[in-house]
Amino acid sequence: MAEGQASFSSRSAYQDALAIYREGSLATYSLFSPDDRVQILNAIEKAYITLIDEDKRAAYDRMLAVTAQVENSDLDAKVQNRPIPLFNKKNSLNPNELVNRIKIKSAQQEVIALFKEIMGKDLVSGEDLRKLRKALDVDIFEVYLVTKISVSVIKAIENNRYEDLPADVYLSNFLRSYAEVLQLDAQRIMDGYFRRMSLALKDDH
């Protein structure tokens, strides 16, 4: 199989797997709980990220060879089929570069005003966090690289898709990590987000 065909096949398989296990999938809606889906989607995403990271993929291949799951000769091929990355960002991040960028952006008047606006709220929404993230010029994939919160969960947080979020004990840690990346008071963000979520879920019922 040509490299381009294999790359397209890998990406298609990844997207097909997401479609099968996402919330509302007709194929699996009665088989898994929301928490189960989050864990499965995280595992799928982790596997794909391993494939598109050359070093991680090589390490994984070596592990398979050690456990006799693949032949060593397979690892000696000059050209390995690589999947097409779904993100433009490299799968590595210079933390100092990110911190410096956030510091520079945080000094701008419009960002300072946004900080004050969010921290003055009793109810915090995902839109607030997304708006600040973009104002700080932080890519959603960079949040993943720093916090290891899956992109699907970050998007659920930012879009207030409460039904797609993990259990509160996990969500608390995710919100804390996310808030710290954005240089926000983590406890206030956690409290404000949970208050808003509680009211929204109560209104739905």
- Do 46 and 101 belong to one domain? no
Lowest mean pLDDT among 45-59, 90-104, 143-157, 182-196: 45-59
- Identify the domain containing residue 68 by its residue range: 3-75
Lowest mean pLDDT among 72-81, 137-146, 159-168: 72-81
State the CB neighbour count (10 A cutoff) for residue 189: 22
The tens digit of pLDDT for each residue in 36-62 reads 667 777 777 777 676 666 666 666 566
- Do 56 and 106 belong to one domain? no
Is 89 inside any structural domain? Answer: no
Burial 31-48, CB ≥16 within 10 A → b, else e: eeeeeebbbbbbebbeeb
Six token digits for residue 16:
């097909």
Is 83 inside any structural domain? Answer: no
Provide the residue type at 120 as one letter: G
Give CA–CA dist 173/198, Å, rounded.
Answer: 17
Give the chain's mean pLDDT: 76
- Do 55 and 113 belong to one domain? no
Is 142 inside any structural domain? Answer: yes
Q: Which residue, 75, 108, 127, sits at the end of a domain?
A: 75
> pLDDT band at residue 131, thresholds of 50, 70 and 90?
very high
Is 125 inside any structural domain? Answer: yes
Give CA–CA dist 61/1, Å, rounded.
Answer: 19
Q: How many domains does the chain have?
A: 2
Tell how far CA 112 is from the center of its chain: 26
> pLDDT band at residue 124, thresholds of 50, 70 and 90?
very high
- Do 18 and 101 belong to one domain? no
Distant-in-sequence contacts of 71-76, Cβ < 8 A, 24+ apart: none
Question: Are 197 and 125 in contact, with CB atoms under 8 Å apart?
Answer: no
- Do 25 and 109 belong to one domain? no
- Do 121 and 174 belong to one domain? yes
- Do 14 and 100 belong to one domain? no
Give CA–CA dist 15/44, Å, rounded.
Answer: 10
CATH value at residue 154:
1.10.260.40
**SS3 of residue 50 by DSSP:** helix
